A and B are shown apart, each in its own frame.
Chain A
Amino acid sequence: MDIIVCIKQVPDTTEVKIDPVTNTLIRQGVPSIVNPFDKNALEAALQLKEQHGGKVTVLSMGPPQAKDALKECLAMGADEAVLMSDRAFGGADTLATSRTLAAGIRKLGHYDLLICGKQAIDGDTAQVGPEIAEALDIPQVTYAAKLEISGDSKVRIEREHEEGYEVVETTLPLMVTVVKSINEPRLPTVKGTMKANRKEIPMLTAADIDVDLDSIGLKGSPTQVHRIFTPKQRVQGQLIQADSPREAVAQLMNKLAEAKLI
Chain B
Amino acid sequence: MSKKYQFKRRDFLKLMGAGAAASGLSSPILSQLSPLAFASDSPLSNKILVVLELSGGNDGLNTLVPYGDDAYYRHRPTLGIKPNKVRKIDEHFGFNPDMSGMERLFKDGNMAIFHGCGYDQPSYSHFTSMAYWQTASPNSGGSLGWVGRLADSLDPAITPNYLVNIDATQSLAVVAKNHVPVVFDDPKEFGRKGLFRSRPLLDTDRAPNENSTTAQRRLLGLAKSARQASEKVKSACESYSTPVDYGISPLDLNKIAALINADMNTRLYYTSFRRNAFDTHVQQPNLHQRLLTYFSDAVSGFFTDMERIGRADDVVMLVFSEFGRRVAENTNLGTDHGTANNMYLIGNSVKGGHYGELPSLTNLNDGNMLHTTDFRQVYATAISGWMGLDAHEQVLRHRFDEFPAFG
Q: Decide if A and B are genuine partners.
A: no
Give chain B's interface residues, CB within 8 Å of chain A.
none
